[in-house]
Amino acid sequence: MIDGILIGLSTALSLQNLLFVMMGCLVGTFIGMLPGLGPMSAIALMIPIAATLDPAAGIILMAAVYYGAIFGGSTSSILINAPGVASTVATSFDGYPMARSGQAGKALAIAAYSSFSGGVIAAIFLLVAAPSLASVSLAFQSTDYFALMVLGLVAVAAFAGKGSMVKALLMTVVGLMLSTVGTDQTQGVARFTLGMIDLVDGISFLLLVMATFALSEALMAILRPKDDSARLEEKEASQKLGSMKVSREEVKEMVPVISRSSVLGFIVGVLPGAGATIASFLAYGTEQRIAGPKKGAEFGKGSVRGLSAPETANNAAATGSFVPLLTLGIPGSGTTAIMLGALIGYGIQPGPRLYLDQPDVFWSVIVSMWIGNIILLILNLPLIPYIARVLAIPSRFLLPLILFFSLIGVYFVSFNTFDIQLMVLFAIAAVGLRLLDFPMAPMILGFILGGMMEENLRRALLINDGSWSFLWERGLTLSILVIAALCLLAPPLVGWITKYRNRNTTDATPD
């Protein structure tokens, strides 16, 4: 391993490859900032350039674009509540409220520090344990993935305030229902399309998330115009947008969150098909449970923990996703699938022998991730005060811009006017649901996990001849499902126990 690391250092630290890392980080960051584009689009744009380079340099460039886009994807989520990438949806839950309260600079700084920490810690894990972690990936079967999806959906309780768990679960079901629209991948039959050809390919994630977050946020601002005092507060808040100072107390609060979320994100990233999105949601829900009643109540209102956890986890998972790609040749997401295609185009077959047959490619990519995260931090921190000034733009100018970028971003993906019409309908429905205090996050989570959950359930049933016994026969599956049940039952049980104790205390107190 030491020899491999030295080979990786000599390759990654060459002047040419350092320039490619820097270029990839810059391109990825700026593409990630634009709502509607993401890592997949960024890497696709880099393929013609990478094709002209040697294998190590090409993969280093695309890897830099990948984690650069994940790093920059939090910006639009925090500033305008427009998460164009699935893995930054959870970032908007606390990042956007923090930005609206006049702490956009701090929110962007916390996101930058957390992203950097998650990426670096995961790169160290990858450096030390990549070959041996391949066996962990192989240990998971379809039944375990199904149980993992159930656990991810149960994390919906994390987004439910007191007394809102039923609403959150209902919205999760709505998300699962929306994920079934389109063509059944197993049977090849169109379902729930209402006879519309435009729905044969299903509903676009970007369309749904932009409608329910960015577009509905703009419509809510129009429906609820600010009075003079609110405008004055907003003006005063805009004067503090450039502050990036993170207090010592906040640093102390972030350190354990970053440690836990890095490990969780990396482990989830190692599992093929899980990815940064599940990692960010699981980290968010885990930290809210660990935070306790007092700190947990701050989640969704600008919590430092609520912002740091998903940002750390999604960057750690992005790095972890290279484990199955490099050691097994299994792409864990659409983004890594493009990178797999690039590797095969170079005549390189990823697999257990890659780090022996092509050590310069294997180790240089891993080492470049550590270097790239340092470059990302150095490049982004000076830009934060300027990026944060976006919120200083008056609402009468900012809202039309949000509407424009939301609609154009969705249109440029499909060039189909039907998507614009559908997006407006979803936005109107989202406004109505938000007025009734239904949370949007559980619906997005259900939509994201719905397809993977259905696919793994079908595969598990096929392997077990249609029997549901796989739920309890396999130890790992049963363990994950037990954890999910405990997560679901814990909040009401704690509430009942607290009520019971309070009632006993009241009865025991003399008049």
pLDDT at 312: 92
pLDDT of residue 290: 84
Any idea of the CA torsion for 453, 454, 457, 461, to the nearest 10 degrees?
180
Per-residue pLDDT, 392: 62
- Tell me the angle at which helices 304-320 and 89-98 cross, rounded to the nearest 10 degrees: 150
Q: What CA–CA distance (Å, rounded) separates 278 from 336?
A: 16
Residue 241 has pLDDT above 60, yes or no: no
Q: Predicted confidence band at 262 (pLDDT cuts at 50, 70, 90)?
A: very high
pLDDT number for residue 258: 92
Mean pLDDT (whole number) for 219-236: 60
Please write down the HEC assignment for all residues of 366-389: HHHHHHHHHHHHHHHHHHHHHHHH
Put simply, whether the predicted model's pTM sits higher than 0.75 gets the answer no
Which residues are within 8 A (CB) of 246 and not within 5 positions of it... i.e. 6 or more apart?
Answer: 106, 109, 110, 113, 254
Residues present in the chain in total: 511
Instruction: Examine the pLDDT at 39 and tell me if it is beyond 60.
Output: yes
Record the tokens describing residue 115, joined without a space: 């992203």
Predicted local distance difference test score (pLDDT) of residue 425: 92
Residues 443-448, mean pLDDT to the nearest whole number: 80
How confident is residue 390, by pLDDT bands cut at 50, 70 and 90?
low
**pLDDT, tens only, 447-492:** 877 887 888 888 888 887 778 787 887 877 888 888 878 777 766 6
**How far lies 388's CA from each of 192, 381, 462, in Å?**
42, 11, 51
Rounded-to-integer distance, Cα 311 and Cα 303, Å:
13
* pLDDT at residue 239 tops 70: no
Phi-psi sector, 203: left (phi>0), alpha (psi -120 to 50), beta: beta
- Please state, in angstroms and rounded to a whole number, the distance separating the CA atoms of residues 493 and 92: 29
> Is residue 334 very low, low, confident or very high in pLDDT (cuts 50, 70, 90)?
low
pLDDT tens column, 68-91: 887 777 887 888 777 767 778 888
143-181: per-residue pLDDT in tens?
887 887 787 777 665 555 555 778 888 888 898 899 888
Identify the CA nearest to 73 among candidates 59, 58, 61, 91: 91
Q: For residues 185 and 170, what is the distance between their CA atoms, to the nearest angstrom? A: 25
Q: Percentage helix, strand, coil, to 5, in the chain? A: 80, 0, 20
Give the model's pLDDT for residue 259: 92
